[in-house]
Amino acid sequence: MSDDGDGSGVSPKQAVRVDEIAYGRSGDKANTVNIGIIAESDAAYRRLERQLTADRVADLFGELIDGSVTRYQLPNLPGFNFVASEALDGGGQFSLRYDSQGKTYAAAVLRLELPPESDEERDE
Amino acid sequence: MTVRIANAAGFWGDYPDATERLLASGAEFEYLQLEYLAEVTMGILDRLRDRDPEKGYATDFVEYVIAEHLADLVDREVRIVTNAGGLNPSSCAARVREHAAEQGVDVTVATVTGDDITDQLDRLHARHGLEPFEDDTRYEDVADDVVTAAAYLGAFPVAAALDSGADVVITGRVVDPALALGPLIHEYEWGREQYDRLAAGIVAGHLIECGTQVTGGNSTREWETIEYDDVGYPIVAVEPDGEIQLTKPDGTGGEVSRATVAQQLVYEIGDPQAYLTPDVAADFTAPEITEVGGDTVAITGCEGTAPPDSYKVSVHFENGYRVAGNMLYSRPDALAKAKRAASVIETRIEDRGLTVWDTRAEFVGHNAAHGPAAPARDNHNEVLLRFAARGPEREDLRRLGTEFAPLSLAGPPSVTGLTDSGRPRPRPIIDVWPTLVPKSVVDPEVSVDE
- From chain A, the residues in CB contact with B271 under 8 A are 72, 81, 83
Question: CATH no. for residue A98?
Answer: 3.30.70
- From chain B, the residues in CB contact with A25 under 8 A are 213, 218-220, 263-264, 266-267
- DSSP notation for B379-414: --SEEEEEEEEEES-HHHHHHHHTTSTTHHHHSSSS
A42 interfaces chain B, CB cutoff of 8 Å:
no
- From chain A, the residues in CB contact with B270 under 8 A are 29, 32, 34, 81, 83
pTM of the model: 0.96
The answer to whether A108 contacts B263, with C-beta atoms less than 8 Å apart, is no
Q: Which residue of B has its CA nearest to A96?
A: B388
Residue A123 lies in a domain: no
Which residue ranges does chain B devote to CATH 3.30.70.1150?
319-432
Residue A13 lies in a domain: no
**Tens digit of pLDDT for each residue in B4-20?**
999 999 999 999 999 99
Which residue in B374, B351, B311 sits closest to B149, CA to CA? Answer: B311
The answer to whether A64 contacts B374, with C-beta atoms less than 8 Å apart, is no
Which of B44, B210, B258, B266 would best serve as a mutation to test chain A binding (most A beta carbons within 10 A)? B266
Residue A122 lies in a domain: no
Q: A51: domain range?
A: 20-115
Angle in degrees, CA A55, A60, A66, rounded to 5: 75
Q: Indicate whether this complex's ipTM tops 0.90.
A: yes
For the domain made up of B319-432, the CATH class stated in words is: alpha beta
Per-residue pLDDT band for B307 (boundaries 50, 70, 90) equals very high
What pLDDT, on the 0 to 100 scale, is given for residue A8? 61
Which residue in B63, B64, B45, B42 sits closest to B54, CA to CA? Answer: B45
**Tens digit of pLDDT for each residue in B196-251?**
999 999 999 999 999 999 999 999 999 999 999 999 999 999 999 999 999 999 99
Quick check: A9 pLDDT over 90? no
Average pLDDT over all residues of chain A: 92
The answer to whether B134 contacts A85, with C-beta atoms less than 8 Å apart, is yes
Angstrom distance (rounded) from CA B447 to CA B444: 10
Angstrom distance (rounded) from CA B426 to CA B109: 39
Residue A94 lies in a domain: yes
**Tens digit of pLDDT for each residue in A45-93?**
999 999 999 999 999 999 999 999 999 999 999 999 999 999 999 988 8
Residue A1 lies in a domain: no
C-alpha distances (whole Å) from B129 to each of B118, B125, B134, B139, B435 are 15, 4, 15, 8, 10
B449, B96 contact by CB (below 8 A): no
Angstrom distance (rounded) from CA B359 to CA A96: 7
B248, B302 contact by CB (below 8 A): no
Residue A77 lies in a domain: yes
- From chain B, the residues in CB contact with A41 under 8 A are none
Quick check: A12 pLDDT over 90? no
Q: Looking at the partner chain, which of A28, A38, A76 has a beta carbon nearest the beta carbon of B287?
A: A76
Tally of structural domains, chain A: 1
